[in-house]
Structure 1
């Protein structure tokens, strides 16, 4: 089984498919490690590894 991860903005949507979920998969997608701003998410614990984010 693989997981689909989604990151979106007002202008674009990025879908990535990864064999695992969690921080490893989010790092592989490359968005959250570099993102500065507010990330709206479901408050799953893996998102809180990115201390530079404001969580919504």
Structure 2
């Protein structure tokens, strides 16, 4: 990947971030759609959130 391609990716990500973070609701929906958050709005385990199996063990 050359410098131009890297810059194009950075620009695209910045544009998507700006478009999808206009409100908390919109940002949360975007993160859920991208798979970073669960449908309950919690961080998924693979990204540092609590594993569902750990939650049920504590109950």
Shared fold by TM > 0.5? no
| Higher relative helix content | 2
| Higher relative strand content | 1
Please tell me whether Structure 1 or Structure 2 has the larger radius of gyration of its CA atoms. 2
The alignment's TM-score, normalised by the length of structure 2, stands at 0.27
